[in-house]
Structure 1
Amino acid sequence: MAGLVTGSVMGALVGCQNMEAVSPWVDLGNQVAKNAGYDTDSRLARAIKDTLSASTDRASTGLSQQGAFHLQLPPSAQPVANSLRQFGFGSYVDQLEAAMNRGAEQAAVEAAPVFKQAIAGMSVNDALGIIRGGDTAATEYFRGQTESALRARFQPIVEANLRKTGFYDQYKSMLAVYEKLPIANKPAMDVERHVVDSSMATLFTRIGEEEALIRKDPVARGSVLIGQVFGEG
């Protein structure tokens, strides 16, 4: 009997087009299974974690590839960059921007274990809240749980790549002087912070794109979830 019921629920799920449509069937499937003696909340939570783990892996792996980022110096530094190019020092600007992008790519690799730790610590209620939440529930969860840890991991990687340019110390000295100037509303010139902020913004944008794909087609993108919750019986 349980197999017939889960088969019916599976058929209904296959016809759903988004996560909003899936949620009532998840609730129905849970209730039916609970009545039959199954604890599907924990099984559903495990399946959601598997799906989110795969999605965050795709996001961090994609951004770790060479050419994934197209970072440039912050807008406030563009006048300086333009002047350097005008006087024949464009290679220094190119070298700096290349180091920025390599740093961002290498930092993206570090995101995967941070996301895995956040997923491992996710409670059943957290997981169920994500699947039943708003369009960006997973992205907001990851941002809240991982932002400070990601910054801590990204910063030394970005710094190490900028040091490879050979003029990192001069840049830091110039930045220290600049930040002490008595100028109101000074534009930001901190390249490290710019790279870290831009890298994280791009990463969470990619996470959001993965979440949108899951919500648009939960059966295709979350097949593990569907299989674990409704594939047995």
Structure 2
Amino acid sequence: MLFRLRSVLLVFLCLALFWSQALAGWGDALNKMGSDMADTAATAAGSPYTPSEAMAGIKETLKLGTDSAANTLGSPGGFSAHPDTALSLPGNLSFPGSSMLLDSLNGAAEGAIPGVKSTFLDSISSLSVSNPTKAVSGGDTAITQYFEQNSRDTLAKLVRPIVEQSVQSAGVGDYLGPLAAAQQAAGLGGTAFDPTTYLTDKTLDSMFYYIGEKEKALRSSGAENASSLLQKLF
């Protein structure tokens, strides 16, 4: 009796495994069929490119933008090179002696960029766009805007620990602590400034800024010196 029960359970387990694999295979096949049908419809309608090409172009554009952003921001003085990405201190910390704190913040931001770049590239690789053709045919930064709107919250959670580690490595606390103490001693009150939160937000802002600038450049030049796919799209 026990042997028969085990045999029945084994059969059920085998069937369950078979059906789970079969369903997964059918799901992949249906997804591919849907993609192929969309491409065929686009070709029949006279579109210069298919949804699959648009999706590939979106990812390529974002990856090029990420490379450009990381190369700029990760170099010495990378954040301070442009007004839109330059770091600043809150007014209650901007007084003589605070320049070293700002320097350490810049160092922390620059030091976080390699890890931030990897995080962005991973996010781009897994990005899904419901209407890639619309994003490609949109405005100057339509692709970047879509990426930011759909990925920023997740990226913030992934980037924060990278920034936090860089803040510690750059010794930001060594400068922030004495300044906050001096501020309190002078009767100016404490500070609620959180360098990790500030730099996480600023790093994301700056990455998206330069990704958008790269997208603009690709569109305005017809993707000159880029791949044949991007030249076809832009």
TM-score above 0.5, yes or no? yes
Distance change (3 Å), C-alpha of 1:153 and 1:104: farther
1:124 & 1:189 partners in 2: Cα distance?
Answer: 37
Q: CA RMSD of the aligned region, Å?
A: 3.8
Structure 1: which 5+ residue stretches go unaligned?
Answer: 1-28
SS at match of 1:220: coil
Give the superposition deviation at 1:115: 2.8
- Residues 148-205 of structure 1, C-alpha deviation per residue, up to 9 Å, x if partnerless? 2332343334333443437459739x69xx9xxxx9xx98533332222222222221
Q: 1:170 to 1:114 in 2, by over 3 A?
A: closer
Matched, 1:66 2:76: yes
**Match of 2:143?**
138
What is the aligned partner in structure 2 of residue 225 from structure 1? Answer: 229
2:63 match: 53
- Name the counterpart of 1:109: 114
Q: Which has the higher helix share?
A: 1
Count residues with an aligned counterpart: 181
Q: Are the equivalent residues in 2 in contact too, given 1:219–1:226 (CA < 8 A)?
A: yes
- Contact 1:44/1:228, CA 8 A, preserved across alignment: no
Residue aligned with 1:72, SS = coil
**Where in structure 2 are the equivalents of 1:150-165 lying within 5 Å?**
150-163=155-168, 164-165=170-171
Residue of structure 2 in register with 1:12 after alignment: none
**Residue 127 (structure 2) aligned to one of 122, 132, 136:** 122
Larger radius of gyration: 2
1:47, 1:228 within 8 Å by CA — same for their partners in 2?
A: no
Query: 1:95: which partner in 2?
Result: 100
Q: How does 1:168-187 map to 2 (within 5 A)?
A: 168=174, 171=177
Partner Cα distance (2:42, 2:173) in 1: 65
Q: CA deviation at 1:131?
A: 0.6
User: What's the TM-score, normalizing by structure 2?
Assistant: 0.60
Deviation at 1:56, TM superposition (A): 1.9
Is residue 61–residue 109 contact of structure 1 (8 Å, CA) maintained in 2? Answer: no
CA deviations over 1:18-73 (Å, ceiling 9, x no partner): xxxxxxxxxxx98785589xx93323422332233222222222211121012232
- Distance (Å, rounded) in 1 between the aligned partners of 2:130 and 2:172: 50
Q: Percent of aligned positions with the same letter in both sequences?
A: 27
Measured in 2, the distance between the counterparts of 1:148 and 1:222 equals: 30
**Aligned residues of 1:135 and 1:212 also touching (Cα < 8 A):** yes
Normalised TM-score (structure 1): 0.60
